[in-house]
A and B are shown apart, each in its own frame.
Chain A
Amino acid sequence: MIELRNVTLKYGDKEILKNVSLTVHDNTIKAILGPSGVGKSTILKLMLGLIKPYSGQVFVDGTDITPLRETELYPIRRKMGMVFQGNALFDSMTISQNLGFFLRENLKLPEKEVEERVSEQIRFSGLEGYEDQLPENLSGGMRKRVAIGRALIFRPHMILFDEPTAGLDPVSSKRILGLISSLRQESNLGAVIVTHIIDDVFSTADHAAVLYQGEIIFDDKTENLHQADHPFIRSILSDKILEL
């Protein structure tokens, strides 16, 4: 379980997040919805301890990670897999090397087990035949699937998606969303999805939170979004995509 408790974040004098509280339970998919540049991706970085809040606390499985040092955070981060918006694949490594990198680096598994896990992810992501390709030779959708595979290969409890369908064509988007939905059904995984596309929320998430002007203005079951009376939520339900 991940919990943000009264988190405030500032960049200089600008307040990005204002007293934000948010809980993500295990085995649920929670979407964080909001316009671009509102601080949605920042929430994921706070959950991983990549940045520290100005005030407030972040709990991962009951541990307050805000006072922890970088080296103390590494084992906590390994409980979560992160899929970055731009995928953040290592461009000098092949797909297989990208998938196996952190297993070799951090878990020091026997090479046979690393290869088995890599093959498993290649099959799960539908990337058979592309093992020895560099990321630059793959389409956007395929790169996203590699990034998801790299996050899953650790067998984390929770997976964090930063704009998983941004910049993808409709077919690739549908495939990625299908992949995300299958994670909970097949692997019993929890997930946090940051997005500005409302259709993504309805097609994958059990719970949704809406971030607007640095504050959470809605945090409930996804289907209850239709009953929300905040003007911003009403407007996004009619516009579907938030390009504000």
Chain B
Amino acid sequence: MPLAAIRTLPQELSFRTKEFLLTLQEFFLFSMRAFFTMPKLRRYWRDFLDQATICGTESIPIVLVSAISIGSLMSIEVGNLLEEFGAKTMLGRSTSITVVRELGPLLMGLMLSARFGSRNGAELGAMQISEQIDALRAFGTDPIAKLVMPRLAAALVMFIPLVALSDFAGLQSAALLAINYHKLDPGIFWNAVYPRLAPKDFVVSFLKAPVFAIIITLVSSFNGFSAKGGTAGVGRSTIKGIVVSSGLVLVANFYVSKVVLENMK
């Protein structure tokens, strides 16, 4: 049996590679169609507003929770570390850069991948399994324009204020802990924050919002559209959507930071 498996390995690898490349091609065409249908946004204005509420307004609690927890944690841990070197006054600088550039947008991206991405994957997957997407096509409606484009547009618009909120809440919670836990003077903390944060830090932070919006929406929607195999298939496609989009968010987070910080003064 193992020998037989080894013998068929090249064919299996070739099949898997072809399957992967075909999926990439389908994903690329799917994404292009989602962007090319943007001029129909006016027609699907109500769908856009619904999705903006789902991915924006309704995501505020989870974004706040993640931002506050990471801001607080950074303040306590980094404060303890800096205290050993007698450099506690640097706490504002180190936490602000970490929260604004990296951890604020990253955690927001991961949380939205779990919340908005899973919703997209499950909802569209259930529609695919119950032939509702085929019904749209059968009666002459473009399902990508109706279902994916408003989600993409809403995420592109709403992720930016969510990043701002995440940065703000993260900084405020860090300040609160610095003042109350490390007994740092508020003036010392904030004076280390604002003059040190350069425009490139905000560019890094806010550029991540549309990048994450595109990744999360398109990956989760594509997986929903590709669901097959009943309710178990919906579960599989939803999980795949979250895992892939979260992984891509982590990779994109690194590259956006790298590219902007290397190329901007």
Chain A residues within an 8 Å CB radius of B137: 48, 50, 70, 77
Within 31-46 of A, Cβ neighbours of B (below 8 Å) are at 45
**Contact between B142 and A70, CB atoms less than 8 A apart:** yes
Q: Assess whether B141 is in contact with A50, with CB atoms less than 8 Å apart.
A: no
Contact indicator B142/A102 (Cβ below 8 Å): no
Q: Within residues 200 to 236 of chain A, which ones have a CB less than 8 A from any CB in chain B? A: none
A106 within 8 A of B: yes
| B131 in contact (CB, < 8 A) | yes
Mark each residue of chain B from 123 to 139: 1 if its CB lies under 8 Å from any CB of chain A, else 0: 00000001110110111
Q: Please give, as numbers and ranges, the residues of chain B lying within 8 Å of A85 by CB-CB distance.
A: 131
Complex: how many Å from CA A226 to CA B137? Answer: 38
**Pair B139/A84 contact, Cβ less than 8 Å:** no
Neighbouring A residues of B146 by C-beta, 8 Å: 105
Q: In the complex the two chains form, what is the Cα distance from A50 to B133 in whole Å?
A: 11
What are the residues of chain B within 8 A of A166 when measuring CB–CB? Answer: none
Whether the Cβ atoms of A75 and B135 lie closer than 8 Å is no
Interface core residue of B132, B140, B142 (most chain A CB under 10 Å): B140
Q: Is A71 an interface residue (CB 8 A)?
A: yes
CB distance from B236 to the nearest CB of A (A): 19
Residues A86 and B134 in contact, CB atoms below 8 Å apart: no
Interface range on chain B: under 10, 10 to 19, 20 to 34, or 35 or more? 10 to 19
- Inter-chain contact B139/A106, CB cutoff 8 Å: yes
Bound-complex Cα distance A150 to B131 (A): 15
Determine the distance from Cα of A78 to Cα of B141 in the docked complex, in whole angstroms: 10
Q: Mark A92-135, 1 if CB is under 8 A from B, else 0.
A: 00000000001001100000000000000000000000000000
Judged by a CB distance under 8 angstroms, whether A90 is at the interface is yes
Q: Identify the closest chain A residue to B43 (Cβ).
A: A105
* Contact A88 B140, beta carbon cutoff 8 Å: no
A59 contacts partner chain B, Cβ-Cβ < 8 Å: no
Are B131 and A102 neighbours in the complex by a CB distance under 8 Å? no
- How many of chain A's residues have a CB under 8 angstroms from any CB in B? 24
Contact: B139 with A77, CB < 8 Å?
A: yes
Q: Considering the complex, give the chain A residue whose CB is closest to the CB of B141.
A: A105
CB-CB nearest in chain A for B33:
A70
Contact with A along B208-238 (1 / 0, CB 8 A): 0000000000000000000000000000000
> Is B131 touching A86 in the complex (CB atoms < 8 A)?
yes
Q: Given the complex of chains A and B, what is the CA–CA distance between A77 and B137 in angstroms?
A: 8
Q: Which residue of the partner chain, among B131, B132, B141, contacts A106 with CB atoms under 8 Å?
A: B141
Contact B140 A77 (CB under 8 A): yes
* A91: contacting residue among B130, B140, B141, CB under 8 A: B130
Which residues of A are found within 8 Å of B138, using beta-carbon distances?
48, 50, 77, 80, 82, 84
| Distance A91 CA – B146 CA, assembled complex (angstroms) | 16
In the assembled complex, the Cα of A30 lies from the Cα of B174 at a distance in Å of: 72
**Residues in chain B near residue A75, CB distance under 8 A:** 140
A82 to chain B, nearest CB (A): 4
Chain B residues with Cβ under 8 A from A48's Cβ?
A: 137-138
Instruction: Return the CB mask of B152-177 against A: 1 if under 8 Å, else 0.
Output: 00000000000000000000000000
Contact of B142 with A71 in the complex, beta carbons under 8 Å: yes
In the complex, besides A78-B140, A102-B141, 4 extra interface pairs with C-beta distance below 8 angstroms are: A50-B134, A50-B137, A88-B130, A106-B140
Question: Interface residues, chain A, CB within 8 Å of chain B?
Answer: 45, 48, 50, 70-71, 74-75, 77-78, 80-82, 84-86, 88-91, 102, 105-106, 150, 154
30 A/B residue pairs, CB under 8 Å, sorted by A: A45-B134, A70-B137, A74-B141, A75-B140, A77-B138, A77-B139, A78-B139, A78-B140, A80-B138, A81-B139, A82-B135, A82-B138, A82-B139, A84-B134, A84-B135, A84-B138, A85-B131, A86-B131, A88-B131, A88-B132, A88-B134, A89-B132, A90-B132, A90-B135, A102-B139, A102-B140, A102-B141, A106-B140, A106-B141, A150-B139
